[in-house]
Structure 1
Amino acid sequence: MLRVLVTRPEPGASRTAHRLEEAGFQPVLLPLTETKALPAAAGLIPDDAVAVAVTSANAMRHAPEEIIATLAALPCHAVGRRTAEAARKAGFLSVSEGPGDAEALADVLAAGFSGKTIVYLCGRVRFPAFEQRLGTAGVRVHAVETYDTLTVGYPDEVTLERLSAQPADAVLLYSAKAAAAMQMLARRPALRGLFEKTWVFALSTRIAAAFDDATGERIRIAAQPDEEALLALLQAPR
């Protein structure tokens, strides 16, 4: 049975583990990042905001109730299905599901909101291209950071225990921050043997680039940036 290392933070890690078990794989949970809520004041939201954008379900999950209450009547543009579900669950009344990619969502919004203000619910650690594209198109983006992403460190003995001192056949990478942490972990002398033959499956080219170039021949990138495409890589011939 293929042993798959799951590096994403909770609660997504357990959800992914369940999907892997159903597909006949053996998940090994080792979250390399964690998310922490940040204080965000509803009074700082501009009065002229006409819409909300969100590219991460975590941004919605960590948003304070007063922020949601202030914004819930505005149309919410979510990057993809999972984020759209989180927005509806949080209480947004009108939610549209985007193409699954933040830059593609920015292109969609740029066409309709030039010269207008949108509120962007986001994390402190984020890729700048979304805001840059909208800014170039004349969209005023007011970022509201609802969470931070922190690296989780594990002593060698804890990692060995989690992996039962057995090599990992594959590792799933969902963020550049986790990819960088995984790179450092795999280079440790006490752990190197566990990852010498590990296949690395990344959600995007940017995430793959954050991993070790020396193992590029064992890296595969999802056809599109969603979990379905990422897990499909486990079934593909190598």
Structure 2
Amino acid sequence: MRIWVSRPEPGAARTARRLEALGHAALVAPVLRIVPTGAPPPQGGFDGLILTSGNAVPATEGVPRDLPVFAVGARTAERARRAGFSHIRCAEGDAVDLAALVTKTLRPGSSLLHAAGEDRKAEPAASLAAAGFSVAVWTAYAARAEGALPEVAARALRDGESAGPAAVLHFSRRSARAAAELCREAGLMGAFRALNHYCLSPDVAAGLAEFGLAAHFVATRPSEDALLAGLPPSDRPSPARQAPG
């Protein structure tokens, strides 16, 4: 099955490799790009750094590498490790798990720095503040929608059943909305509507609902593993299983 990967880089290429390993064909056409805001981190001493996305890691160049890091999931933790952070604790993949990890590790009253995106949710900062922690939110990066639907996606959607994608993966509410808006502007909403929409979470699926679209599949946990587990088996061998020619 040919699957459109609409998430921004660097995650899009990684997801494409995983799809290929599963025997699917990936159409990489991000509808968002991640850009640093250039805002400096707040001044002051902190007892920990909260990372709810690996996209924040490049902006943390000036943050001390011995500061304890609380990462939302394994991939974010790995990016922090590669960036030189030495004390990293990893949650199970969502904000609720992350808040629980912090409360188990640090005492109430501890001061935390949350390196976040411009489009962020209330958690985990709300739960941590309610538990007595001081959370300084630093807007370190932002997701910007592309000005037009990537040509490779537009061309594939126009091809329809002959060579077009059969499904699309949505990793965030923002990217789901951006994909829908760009398809509508390109006059390809009908083709977009006909795709099977695989969503990382109910919140992501809500982005499609704003356009009257229903998700074909919603992951049980907000992780790439859970999302890819919802795909049907491939009808062609993966590269690893192909017989030598």
TM bin, normalised by shorter chain, reads 0.7 to 0.9
Instruction: Tell me which residue corresponds to 2:84.
Output: 91
- Superposition map of 1:149-164 within 5 A: 149-155=143-149, 159-163=153-157
Counterpart residue identity of residue 224, structure 1: R
State how far apart, in whole Å, the 1-side matches of 2:132 and 2:12 are: 37
Residue 213 of structure 2 corresponds to: 215
Q: Does 2:56 correspond to 1:63?
A: no
Instruction: Give secondary structure in 2 for the equivalent of 1:120.
Output: strand
The equivalent residue for 2:239 is none
Amino acid at match of 1:11: P
- Asked if 1 retains the 8 angstrom alpha-carbon contact of 2:158 and 2:191, the reply is no
Cα distance 1:53–1:156, how it changes in 2: closer, same or farther (>3 A)?
closer
Residue identity opposite 2:131 in structure 1: A
Gaps of 5+ in 2: 235-245
Q: Structure 1 residue 7: deviation in Å?
A: 0.6
Matching residue's letter, 1:125: D
Hey, what's the Cα distance between the residues in 2 that align with 1:129 and 1:41? 22
| Contact 2:51-2:70 within 8 A present in 1 as well | yes
1:78 is the counterpart of 2:71: yes
Cα offset for 1:234?
0.9
Shift of 1:220: 1.2
Give unmatched runs, 5+ long, in structure 1.
none
Q: Does 1:109 align with 2:102?
A: yes
Highest RCO, 1 vs 2 (Cα 8 Å, sep ≥ 6): 2
Q: CA deviation at 1:188?
A: 4.8
Q: 1:170 to 1:155 in 2, by over 3 A?
A: closer
Note closer, same or farther for the CA distance 1:125–1:175 as it changes in structure 2 (3 Å cut): same
Residues 27-71 of structure 1 deviation map (CA, whole Å, 9 limit, x = unaligned):
1112111100122435x3322x111111100111x214222xx2x
- Please give the root-mean-square deviation of Cα atoms over the aligned residues, in Å: 2.2
Q: Partner of 1:45 in structure 2?
A: 43
* Counterpart residue identity of residue 118, structure 1: L
Amino acid at match of 1:140: S
What is the number of equivalent residue pairs in this alignment? Answer: 229
Paired letter, 1:93? S
Distance 1:197 1:91 in 2: 44
Cα deviations by residue, 1:152-173 (Å, 9 ceiling, x for unpaired): 1325866422546234311100
Tell me the distance in 2 between the aligned counterparts of 1:215 and 1:54: 31
Q: Hey, what does 2:230 align to over in structure 1?
A: 233
1:142 partner amino acid? A
Q: Percent identity?
A: 34
